[in-house]
Structure 1
Amino acid sequence: MARHWPTYVVCGLIVQMLLGCSGEPAANKATTVNASDVQVVAPKADGNLVVAFGDSLYAGYGVAQNESFPHELEKALKAKGENVEVRNAGVSGETTQAGLQRLEFTLDGLPRKPDLVLLGLGGNDMLRGLDPAQSEKNLRAMLDILKARKLPVVLTGMLAAPNMGADYATRFNAIYPALAKAYDVPLYPFFLEGVIGDARYMQADSVHPNPAGVDIIVGKIAPLVSDKLAP
């Protein structure tokens, strides 16, 4: 999987991503979405409720909320005739530890039990050089919570940047396949597959996808979501 990263100019961009995901105010940033700010709007009774629980890549950093991954995923699914609401529960700058701390609060704040949870955390752990073992432990704890609540999951993964070193990359990159196997959940291995390194699909920070990049990602992930929601 590391072959996807050579075009990623990591040295300066790692710092940019940390700043971009930090939630600190800046003129060109999207507003940070806090768990308490997630709107609770009941979906149609006969539709599916999907919760996109992740970091800035889910929250829609740098794009309008109607261009974010959850919004565009919902739009794509509806275009296929599916009655679905995709709730944006992404928080910019979030680590797996912070996600674990707010997961149950977020689930308890929903109008009803969701039909599917998209889980996409770990990128900020990697960028901060946090121990992959701890990241895996936190993700396992979240998957345990979702399993206990009998909530289906689609896991979206991340890859370590090359400058993290081969040993770190080996440990970090193994997390998502191992969890997908252990919990028998669908895995989309690399959220930025097909867009990272291509200026046509990335924002000026070369880290977050622009609206065109979001559309590409949605096109790749939507079939997994449809399959998981199928009766």
Structure 2
Amino acid sequence: MHKWLILAALSGLAACSDGETAPNAIPQDTAIPAAAQRETPDGALPAVPNGREIQVLAFGDSLLAGYNLPRSDAYPAQLEAALRARGIDARVINAGVSGDTTAAGLQRLDFVLDGLEQKPALAIVEFGGNDLLRGLSPSLARDNLDAMLARFAEEDIPVVIMGIEAPPSAGSEYRRQFNAIYPELAEKYDAALVPMFIAPLIEDRTLVQADQIHPTRNGVAAMVSLTIDTIAPVVQKAAVAE
């Protein structure tokens, strides 16, 4: 299958809901079991985390929620383990909901923030795939993401944006508008950007579940490996700024 057809499938990011988290549920913390804390996604023994615990909010759809995976294998949990392996005492909160569009994410953002015990030092924002799958307006997706980022800015919470790209089958004008969303908003809000965080899933189909959409545990680990070098410095900078 051509990689752009694969991307079109991956862009669904869970049109079906896994039922792990109700749309209006207060997100549960992704406390990693002791066994998971002892090793990173690639199996290497981590360094002992130093300093105080840093709160990171992972806010997105099924690619963060961990569709069809134990919560300990989802992206927030594996990212937490990878950060701890670098000596960063992070706790990554899983606020992913399968099937969420940008509109659904914006709708529940205040509820999520109000439900947290303390303000996070950093937010990872990952939306847009379901908008792409449903052919929703790029301008609407942009407006929704813009409003989310403005809300985080109001709370003085730094953001890492997880970007995706529309496939050629979406049409040149749609692609032009959609693909511009993430870098333009990253520049507007001075946010760190991962341009194509699902790239490992497109390049290696063994990292994708049988539904041809969602990552396996190893697929999540590959996504963490791709994104950790962008996220770790931002987490450290946010911790110092607190």
Under a length normalisation based on structure 1, what TM-score does the superposition of the two structures give?
0.86
- Give the match for residue 168 of structure 1: 174
- Match of residue 91, structure 1, among 97, 101, 106: 97
- Give the match for residue 15 of structure 2: 21
Matches within 5 A, 1:44-193: 46-193=52-199
Deviation string 1:62-97 (CA, Å, 9 cap, x unpaired) is 222111100100011111221110000000000111
Q: Aligned residues: percent identity?
A: 41
Q: Take 1:13 and 1:228, find their aligned partners in 2: how far apart are those partners?
A: 31
Structure 1 runs (4+) greater than 2 angstroms displaced: 8-14, 39-42
Under a length normalisation based on structure 2, what TM-score does the superposition of the two structures give?
0.83
- Give the match for residue 207 of structure 2: 201
Matched, 1:38 2:44: no
- Match of residue 217, structure 1, among 215, 223, 228: 223
Q: Take 1:80 and 1:160, find their aligned partners in 2: how far apart are those partners?
A: 33
Q: Take 1:32 and 1:112, find their aligned partners in 2: how far apart are those partners?
A: 23
Matched, 1:7 2:3: yes
- How much has 1:162 moved relative to structure 2? 2.6
- How much has 1:104 moved relative to structure 2? 1.1
Whether contact under 8 Å (1:158, 1:190) holds in the other structure is yes
- Structure 1 residues 169 and 197: CA distance shift in structure 2, 3 A: same
Q: Take 1:177 and 1:41, find their aligned partners in 2: how far apart are those partners?
A: 29
- How much has 1:12 moved relative to structure 2? 8.7
CA RMSD in angstroms, aligned pairs only: 2.3
Q: Take 2:150 and 2:197, find their aligned partners in 1: how far apart are those partners?
A: 22
Whether contact under 8 Å (1:8, 1:197) holds in the other structure is no
Whether contact under 8 Å (2:30, 2:93) holds in the other structure is no
- How much has 1:201 moved relative to structure 2? 1.1
Letter in 1 for 2:19: T
What runs of 5+ residues in structure 1 fail to find an aligned partner? 24-29
For residue 199 of structure 2, give the secondary structure of its aligned residue in structure 1. coil
Q: Take 1:112 and 1:50, find their aligned partners in 2: how far apart are those partners?
A: 10
For residue 205 of structure 2, give the secondary structure of its aligned residue in structure 1. coil
Q: Take 2:7 and 2:204, find their aligned partners in 1: how far apart are those partners?
A: 17
In the alignment of these two chains, the number of paired residues is 217
Q: Take 1:208 and 1:113, find their aligned partners in 2: how far apart are those partners?
A: 30
Q: Take 1:148 and 1:192, find their aligned partners in 2: how far apart are those partners?
A: 29
Whether contact under 8 Å (2:197, 2:226) holds in the other structure is no
Deviation string 1:47-68 (CA, Å, 9 cap, x unpaired) is 1000100001110012221111
Deviation string 1:93-142 (CA, Å, 9 cap, x unpaired) is 00111111111110110000100000000110011000000100010001
